[in-house]
Amino acid sequence: MTALAADLATLDATAQADLVRRGEVTAEEVTGAAIERIERLDPALNAVVTPLFDSALEEGRRLGGGPPAPVPFPGVPYLVKDLFVEIAGVRTTNGSRFLRDSVGRVDAELVTRLRCAGLTVVGRSNTCEFGLLPACEPVLHRPTRNPWDLTRSTSGSSGGSAAAVAAGLVPMAHANDLGGSIRFPASACGVFGLKPTRGRNPLGPTCGDAVSGFMAEHAVTRSVRDSAALLDATSGPALGDPYPAPTPTRPFVSEVAADPGRLRIAFTSRTPTGHPGHPDCVAAVEDAAGLLSDLGHELVEAQLPGLTPEVGRAIATGYYAAVAWFLRLAAGATGREPGDGELEPGTRAFLERGREVSAADYLLAVQELQAFARTVAGFLTGFDAWLTPTLSTPPVPLGEIVSTPDDPLRALRRGGPTVEYPAVVANVTGNPAMSVPLWWNGDGLPVGVHVLGRFGDEATLFRLAGQLERARPWADNRPPVSATAAPSPELALAAP
């Protein structure tokens, strides 16, 4: 690996963009350096499933054809997750053999905004089939491996993006979140992941409101300021969107260095069933609570109210319906139904359940979840945020969260115990939430902590995250498989 490629890997997206603006490197060189890192490291990780190197270099050359463009991220390399978000002329498989030959018809509005921000899309990142699991092990593309331990899961569904950012292939990468899929892999890979408020980023033109607002688009990043600056660049309603998120009072990037003041933060180490998670996850949240207290915040141990069995059943109904909806959408686009062997066993089981959900069933579930959202909003009138572990276990071994034809719900049973803390609350309510990488266990594996904020209040989360990042910087915590690590002969042998 060249010195330039290794040196740039130590910088976040904001710093790389600053080098381009100062003329110290060109946009094409920054893009080329990322391609070099991907070619060197991705055989071990399997994070990038569709390289787009030629078009990315061409975009870098275009950006370097004159004075630096007045954009936030000129030439900074970026990955777009291979799920839902279309890129015209580029395959969009959603991790499924059914869509292995599917090609994007239009650019998603988000992709248009990413390019307007100066980012060069160097590829598409791996995901589990249709993003349904807290894992990234699709049959079509094979597993993505965690750069902290190549035998471990990245969680999911944005596992390819999180592994790529953790290993330094790119400084930040696209992720989306229907129940925790930005935050879970951020925790497992030791990076920062913020799920924004409902309606903050556009979902069009394919969707206006995916699954009654469960879906959110954003990214995983090395630094808090990158997440904030990227959200500034991409957020805001698109023409015809069903509703906007509340307008921020100033740019999000301005919040990162701002003093959050003294916040009142609820926290718990117990799952909704009353049981603690894995001891490492309990230790991570207790450590975070202690750090926050030392920083001057008021910490109050409290469980989130309203997480009843009825709410759990309503969430399940929503997910089953979502699978049936998306498979019908895909069948319409391809002109056929999925054939035998084209869906993984777990997806097929979800689809069969989804086809049993009536319109009335779905709307009753939405009503139940909207009532729950009001309960959460009431709870957060007394607190600025709610702190828990992000995952309920450290990263699990690869192969743990997969189904088989004989046991199609195995992945659901095995994956459930890894996500017992209710990250899905942020999807149900539309509230912003984040996973912050503050703690590593005795095996050197990252264990993130999760912070749920008030609706529309990313500003408080960015201020708090910036304070935590300054108090306990994590950017220099690099995994064994990374662009800044010494070359290892094991890399050549570790390809999935």
Q: Which residues are catalytic?
A: 81, 157, 181
Q: Are 86 and 92 in contact (CB under 8 A)?
A: yes
Nearest Cα to Cα of residue 85 among 55, 111, 116: 111
Q: Are 121 and 55 in contact (CB under 8 A)?
A: yes
d(CA 346, CA 307): 26
Q: Are 102 and 327 in contact (CB under 8 A)?
A: no
Q: Tokens for 34?
A: 């990322």
Max intra-chain CA distance, the chain? 60
d(CA 252, CA 244): 16
Q: In what side-by-side order are the strands of the sheet with 298-301?
A: 48-51, 120-125, 77-81, 172-177, 216-221, 192-195, 433-440, 446-453, 385-389, 264-267, 298-301
Q: What is the 3-state secondary structure (H, E, C) of 285-299?
A: HHHHHHHHHHCCCEE
Q: How far is CA 304 from the centre of its chain?
A: 23
Cβ atoms < 10 Å from Cβ of 299: 17
Residue bearing tokens 């046991």: 407
- Beta strand pairing call for 120-125 and 77-81: parallel
Residue type, 274: G
